[in-house]
């Protein structure tokens, strides 16, 4: 059980925390939980770094560029800290997330302005670590024996409401798959599933605060496993059934999945649950069986395509998205062609693509046949051109259809809303159609690379991120 009731009432916020988040949705979720935990300790969230007493960088270690960005940001924040030294508002700087876990003490050695380094497994201890950091730098990158979720209070209604009608809910963390390119098994540790009752409690708190759509998160979310009250073994498909039965829930999603864990109960959930949105993020990473083997993926390209076929049989309108890596060690022109071919055969609605980035400590970094950077760049451009065509075609196919849209937030102008289609596209529409939190029927009249426009929405939709970009700060994981 969560220990919400044991917590003292939050103090009136006197200090402010600014959290900058990189990386996957799990980091986005962690940032909200850190913010909630600190609020109980008197820190109100702020969206301006200059306004903060505590700055936290919640970091990603997945590719080299992501980690380097942390250090360049720290350099700039140090200057802010220096201007505050000796005033009555000294600045405390913390690094959390996967770079914190991977580099620990090294961060403080490289950047002395940092006061605390806290890994993803121990952020429930943040309030006390912040306090201790007043007397010297603190590093906490333990894999805590206690379950951090047991120690985090359920989010308060007010906190959830401030974030809108969609919410993330981490149900599983860590990874045991050990793909040879990936740091996750080292930074986030072994696969751990949160218990069913704990997840349902958190989901109820979200729904009670007005959340309509919950996205279940996990580095390997479809490896989630648990037991129900009778001791029956459950998989993610069963969990989705339990959540779908909660009164008030309108939409469910989950991300990110591994082909090896695409169990029957999950595929059947796509057939049986209307509130499970027709969207599956299922990374394959490469199309060549030789490369898949050397990546230690544990499946072939044929296995992947057969899963995609089964999922499409269960839910014909499902949108498939994925992740691709180009230039893994040993990738020849023919191997890359196999990647292009699996993309053609899968026909993605959206897909993230990356140049292989060598990560110290992973088996990939030890491989001798590294691919030339210029070759990676050229392959990525070709792959992204194909993915972009597929994404545009998927969006264009929505024109002329009437679709259900969850109204999420104000658009660019006072007469517009932005909503979400079942297939995760942004939809621009007129406010006359409903209110935030409503699910309304929208006639799609136009499509762009990343968004749709509903009838009556006159102005161009806002530019949104390019899902095939290498430099995005929020990726799927």
Q: Which residues bind ligand 5AD (CB under 6 A)?
A: 62-63, 181-182, 283, 285, 323, 325, 354, 356-357, 359, 475-477
Q: Residue 71 touches which of ligand SF4, ligand 5AD, none (CB < 5 to 8 A by kind)?
A: none
> Please, what is the minimum distance in Å from the beta carbon of residue 223 to ligand SF4?
9
The residue (of 71 and 178) whose beta carbon lies closer to ligand SF4 is: 178
Q: Residue 177 touches which of ligand SF4, ligand 5AD, none (CB < 5 to 8 A by kind)?
A: ligand SF4
Structure token pair of residue 46: 């702020």
Q: Burial letters for 111-129: b for 16+ Cβ neighbours within 10 Å, e otherwise? A: bebbbbbbbbbbbbbbbeb
> Please, what is the minimum distance in Å from the beta carbon of residue 165 to ligand SF4?
29
The residue (of 188 and 251) whose beta carbon lies closer to ligand SF4 is: 188
Neighbour-count burial of 155, counting CB atoms closer than 10 A to its CB (0-12 exposed, 13-18 middle, 19+ buried): buried
| Placement of tokens 């989901």 in the chain | 203
Phi, psi of 85 (to 5 degrees): -60, 135
The residue (of 182 and 387) whose beta carbon lies closer to ligand SF4 is: 182
Q: Do residues 182 and 359 make contact, with C-beta atoms less than 8 angstroms apart?
A: yes
Q: Residue 420 touches which of ligand SF4, ligand 5AD, none (CB < 5 to 8 A by kind)?
A: none
How far is it, in rounded angstroms, from Cα 294 to Cα 175? 18
How far is it, in rounded angstroms, from Cα 255 to Cα 232? 24
The residue (of 18 and 328) whose beta carbon lies closer to ligand 5AD is: 328
Structure token pair of residue 42: 């008197």
The residue (of 457 and 475) whose beta carbon lies closer to ligand SF4 is: 475
> Please, what is the minimum distance in Å from the beta carbon of residue 314 to ligand 5AD?
23
Q: Residue 252 touches which of ligand 5AD, ligand SF4, none (CB < 5 to 8 A by kind)?
A: none
Q: Which three-class secondary structure state does DSSP give residue 390?
A: helix
Q: Residue 63 touches which of ligand SF4, ligand 5AD, none (CB < 5 to 8 A by kind)?
A: ligand 5AD
Q: Residue 124 touches which of ligand SF4, ligand 5AD, none (CB < 5 to 8 A by kind)?
A: none
The residue (of 45 and 283) whose beta carbon lies closer to ligand 5AD is: 283
Task: Give all strands of the β-sheet with 54-59 in edge-to-edge order.
Answer: 43-45, 15-21, 54-59, 92-96, 116-118, 138-140
> Please, what is the minimum distance in Å from the beta carbon of residue 130 to ligand 5AD?
30
> Please, what is the minimum distance in Å from the beta carbon of residue 439 to ligand 5AD?
30
Q: Helix 333-346 vs helix 373-396: angle between axes, to the nearest 10 degrees?
A: 10
Q: Burial letters for 247-262: b for 16+ Cβ neighbours within 10 Å, e otherwise? A: eebbbbbbbbbbbebb
The residue (of 177 and 270) whose beta carbon lies closer to ligand SF4 is: 177
Task: Give all strands of the β-sheet with 350-355 in edge-to-edge order.
Answer: 279-281, 319-326, 350-355
Q: Residue 185 touches which of ligand 5AD, ligand SF4, none (CB < 5 to 8 A by kind)?
A: ligand SF4
The residue (of 352 and 394) whose beta carbon lies closer to ligand SF4 is: 352
> Please, what is the minimum distance in Å from the beta carbon of residue 292 to ligand 5AD?
13
> Please, what is the minimum distance in Å from the beta carbon of residue 212 to ligand 5AD?
27
> Please, what is the minimum distance in Å from the beta carbon of residue 30 to ligand SF4?
16
Nearest CA to 333 out of 306, 296, 360, 371 is that of 371
**Residue ranges binding ligand SF4 (CB under 6 A):** 175, 177-179, 182, 184-185, 219-220, 258
Q: Residue 354 touches which of ligand 5AD, ligand SF4, none (CB < 5 to 8 A by kind)?
A: ligand 5AD
Q: Residue 356 touches which of ligand SF4, ligand 5AD, none (CB < 5 to 8 A by kind)?
A: ligand 5AD
CA distances from 18 to 22, 44, 51, 321 (A): 13, 9, 8, 32
The DSSP output letter for 327 is -
Nearest CA to 181 out of 304, 97, 61 is that of 61
Phi, psi of 266 (to 5 degrees): -75, -45
> Please, what is the minimum distance in Å from the beta carbon of residue 423 to ligand SF4?
23
The residue (of 301 and 450) whose beta carbon lies closer to ligand SF4 is: 301
| Placement of tokens 């007493």 in the chain | 53
Count Cα neighbours of 6 within 13 Å in the Cβ-side half-sphere. 7
Nearest CA to 339 out of 312, 296, 304 is that of 304
The residue (of 291 and 325) whose beta carbon lies closer to ligand 5AD is: 325
Q: Residue 475 touches which of ligand 5AD, ligand SF4, none (CB < 5 to 8 A by kind)?
A: ligand 5AD
Longest dimension (CA), the chain: 66
Q: Which three-class secondary structure state does DSSP give residue 180?
A: coil
């Amino acid at each position: 059980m969560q220990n919400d009731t044991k917590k003292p009432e939050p103090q009136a916020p006197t200090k402010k925390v600014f959290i900058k988040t990189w990386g996957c949705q799990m980091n986005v979720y962690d940032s909200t939980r850190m913010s909630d935990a600190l609020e109980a300790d008197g820190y109100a969230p702020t969206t301006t770094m200059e306004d903060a007493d505590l700055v936290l960088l919640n970091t990603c270690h997945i590719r080299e560029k992501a980690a380097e960005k942390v250090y360049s940001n720290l350099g700039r924040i140090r200057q802010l800290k220096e201007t505050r030294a000796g005033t009555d508002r000294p600045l405390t700087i913390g690094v959390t997330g996967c770079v914190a876990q991977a580099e620990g003490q090294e961060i403080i050695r490289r950047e002395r302005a940092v006061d605390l380094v806290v890994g993803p497994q121990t952020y429930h201890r943040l309030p006390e670590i912040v306090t201790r950091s007043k007397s010297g730098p603190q590093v906490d990158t333990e894999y805590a024996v206690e379950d951090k979720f047991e120690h985090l209070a359920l989010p308060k209604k007010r906190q959830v409401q401030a974030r809108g009608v969609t919410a993330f809910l981490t149900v599983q963390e860590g990874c045991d798959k050990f793909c040879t390119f990936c740091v996750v098994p080292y930074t986030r540790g072994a696969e751990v599933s949160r218990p069913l009752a704990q997840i349902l409690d958190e989901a109820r708190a979200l729904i009670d605060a007005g959340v309509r759509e919950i996205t279940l998160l996990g580095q390997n979310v479809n490896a989630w496993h648990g037991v129900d009250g009778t001791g029956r073994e459950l998989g993610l498909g069963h969990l989705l059934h339990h959540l779908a039965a909660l009164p008030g829930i309108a939409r469910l999603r989950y991300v990110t999945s591994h082909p090896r864990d695409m169990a029957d109960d999950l595929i059947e959930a796509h057939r049986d649950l209307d509130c499970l949105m027709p969207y599956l993020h299922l990374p394959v990473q490469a199309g060549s069986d030789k490369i898949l083997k050397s990546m230690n993926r544990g499946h072939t390209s044929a296995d992947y395509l057969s899963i995609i076929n089964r999922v499409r049989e269960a839910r014909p309108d499902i949108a498939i998205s994925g992740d691709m890596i180009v230039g893994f060690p040993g990738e020849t022109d023919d191997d890359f062609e196999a990647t292009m071919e699996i993309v053609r055969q899968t026909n993605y609605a959206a897909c993230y693509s990356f140049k292989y980035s060598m990560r110290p400590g992973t088996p990939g970094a030890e491989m001798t046949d590294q691919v030339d950077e210029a070759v990676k760049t050229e392959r990525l451009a070709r792959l992204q051109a194909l993915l972009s065509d597929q994404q545009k075609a998927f969006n264009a196919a929505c024109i002329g259809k009437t679709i259900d849209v969850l109204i999420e937030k104000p658009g660019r102008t006072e007469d517009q809303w932005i909503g979400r289609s079942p297939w995760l596209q942004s939809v621009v529409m007129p406010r006359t159609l409903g209110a935030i939190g409503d699910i309304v029927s929208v006639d799609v009249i136009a499509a762009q690379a990343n968004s749709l426009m509903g009838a009556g929405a006159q102005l161009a939709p806002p530019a949104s991120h390019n899902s095939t970009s290498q430099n995005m700060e929020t990726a799927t994981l």
